[in-house]
């Protein structure tokens, strides 16, 4: 909620999320609860790039991406920063 509030305060139109967490990954069920809970927090209308450098987590993050897209979010998962940055600045890569 703090990130959403800061984005709203700044008028952010794009957001880059770089996963540097080393903790245990979320489960599919946790993501299926988390993603809908983001509705109405202020991420609507933003382009959101999520960088997941841990290959073992990619399938789970892709699932979250699909859930978010179904809710109307412009979100995409990437394995590296440069591709995510390019997508945020210029569109599809």
Give the DSSP H or E segment for 49.
strand 47-51
The per-residue pLDDT for 27 is 85
The per-residue pLDDT for 92 is 61
Helix/strand/coil percent split, the chain, to 5: 50, 15, 35
Measured between alpha carbons, how far is 39 from 29 in angstroms, rounded to an integer? 17
Structural domains counted in the chain: 1
Range of the domain at 57: 2-90
The per-residue pLDDT for 53 is 80
The low-confidence residues of the chain, meaning pLDDT below 50, are 93
Tokens representing 13 are 């139109």
């Amino acid at each position: 909620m703090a990130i959403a509030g800061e984005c709203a305060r700044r008028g952010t139109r794009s957001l880059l999320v770089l996963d540097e967490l080393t903790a245990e990954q979320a489960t599919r069920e946790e993501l299926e609860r988390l993603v809908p809970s983001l509705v109405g927090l202020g991420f609507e209308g933003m382009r959101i790039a999520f960088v997941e450098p841990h290959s073992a987590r990619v399938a789970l993050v892709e699932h979250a991406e699909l859930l978010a897209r179904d809710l109307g979010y412009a979100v995409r998962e990437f394995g590296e920063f440069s591709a995510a940055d390019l997508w945020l600045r210029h569109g599809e890569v």
